[in-house]
Amino acid sequence: RKEVEQDPGPFNVPEGATVAFNCTYSNSASQSFFWYRQDCRKEPKLLMSVYSSGNEDGRFTAQLNRASQYISLLIRDSKLSDSATYLCVVNGGYSGNTGKLIFGQGTTLQVKP
Amino acid sequence: DTAVSQTPKYLVTQMGNDKSIKCEQNLGHDTMYWYKQDSKKFLKIMFSYNNKELIINETVPNRFSPKSPDKAHLNLHINSLELGDSAVYFCASSQNLGLAGFHEQFFGPGTRLTVL
């Protein structure tokens, strides 16, 4: 089983749609959770951290369910510029904090006009 | 004003050669990383240095050797290149917050390595 699992998609949605991505992780000791965004042939960039209470940043909402080891990202009112690959990222959860991040394969979103 | 830079951006070489990739960050971070992103897009940690000390060393062939001359630089040397080494290699840096963990990781633009 992969440590972080995502549906690779692609998700093809029209502009203005609401789209949700899900992710599961296997290490229950993981402490930190993130969504990164990676544009085609570019480096990953932090989109948002994910907190147990859930958090929102404009059109983006992230939620964490520790009991189910499940993370989600909701994008409302999709824009063409949201087209990218969204990476679910979990810290390693290993003893001795090393900053080790485990990346999911990514979910590709294509927003169409 | 580039935060994390890597050179070269593209590297095409023959099997069996030895090559190096350089990384520099001007963010004042004390932790740097090397990641490999293969053709299936999985991004996997290879190494991490904190204040020039190796803290993460994943299961990678010993043909790969990182070197950190100072906190701002982390280079990756690869000996006897193989076809399977073809990938995009990303350098990243972050600030170690001690018990609070690590701050966001900033990635370089990547080095696209093609082994022929």
pLDDT tens per residue, range A59-109: 999 999 999 999 999 999 999 999 999 999 998 665 455 678 889 999 999
B45 to chain A: which residues are within 8 Å by CB? 100-102
Question: What percentage of chain B carries pLDDT values higher than 90?
Answer: 70
Higher pLDDT, B58 or A74: A74
Contact A99 B31 (CB under 8 A): yes
Contact A98 B44 (CB under 8 A): no
Would you tell me how many other CB atoms lie within 10 Å of the CB of residue A67?
6
* Percent helix, strand and coil across chain B, each to the nearest 5: 5, 55, 40
Q: How far is it, in rounded angstroms, from Cα B96 to Cα A6?
A: 28
Per-residue confidence (pLDDT) for residue A79, from 0 to 100: 97
Per-residue confidence (pLDDT) for residue A53, from 0 to 100: 84
pLDDT tens across B30-49, in order? 899 999 999 888 899 999 88
CB B78 within 8 A of CB A14: no
Q: How far is it, in rounded angstroms, from Cα B58 to Cα B39?
A: 19
pLDDT of B96 above 90: no
Following CA atoms B64, B70, B71, B74 in sequence, which dihedral angle do they give, to the nearest 10 degrees? Answer: -20
Q: Which helix (H) or strand (E) holds A46?
A: strand A44-50
CB A101 within 8 A of CB B49: no
Higher pLDDT, A98 or B50: B50
CB A1 within 8 A of CB A104: no
| Residues recorded for chain A | 113
Give me the residues of B, 50-89, that contact A with CB < 8 A. 50, 55-56
pLDDT of B53 above 90: no
For residue B115, what are its two tokens? 């082994």
| Residues recorded for chain B | 116
Would you tell me how many other CB atoms lie within 10 Å of the CB of residue A54?
13
Closest CA to A68 of A111, A17, A28: A28
> pLDDT confidence of A1, banded at 50, 70, 90?
confident
Q: How far is it, in rounded angstroms, from Cα A50 to Cα A64?
A: 6
Per-residue confidence (pLDDT) for residue B102, from 0 to 100: 62
Per-residue confidence (pLDDT) for residue B95, from 0 to 100: 85
Mutation target for B interface from A37, A97, A102: give the one with most B CBs within 10 A. Answer: A97
DSSP A3: S
Q: Which of A43, A100, A103 sits opposite B42 (nearest CB)?
A: A103
Per-residue confidence (pLDDT) for residue A67, from 0 to 100: 92
Per-residue confidence (pLDDT) for residue B99, from 0 to 100: 58
Q: How far is it, in rounded angstroms, from Cα B23 to Cα B34?
A: 9
Provide mean pLDDT across the span B70-77: 95
